[in-house]
Amino acid sequence: MKTMKYTVAALVLSVASFGAMAAAQPVTSAQAHNLHAIGSVAATDASTLDSLEAKLAAKADAAGAKAYMITSADTDGKMSGSAVIYQ
């Protein structure tokens, strides 16, 4: 029973750490130069720059991207922006 408990705990931790590693990462334009662009994402109605970046990162993750580079941010009223996503 103890072994089963440790096995389940190890499995949960490995899945959680894989999920963290699979998240799209922000890159600079110099880093993006060496990556393959697979599209773009956009987000609207963010209240802060951090929440805008979080929305763009979540959309990049949902699209299966490994990285993203924010290309625009409009801070007039509710914030919106876009990012190129990379594989």
Domains annotated for the chain, with CATH where assigned, are 24-86 (3.30.1660.10)
Give residue-wise pLDDT tens across range 64-76.
999 999 999 998 8
What's the pTM value of the predicted model, to 2 decimals? 0.74
Contact 7, 38 (CB under 8 A): no
Give residue-wise pLDDT tens across range 13-36.
443 444 455 699 999 999 999 999
Element (H or E) spanning 5, and its range? helix 2-21
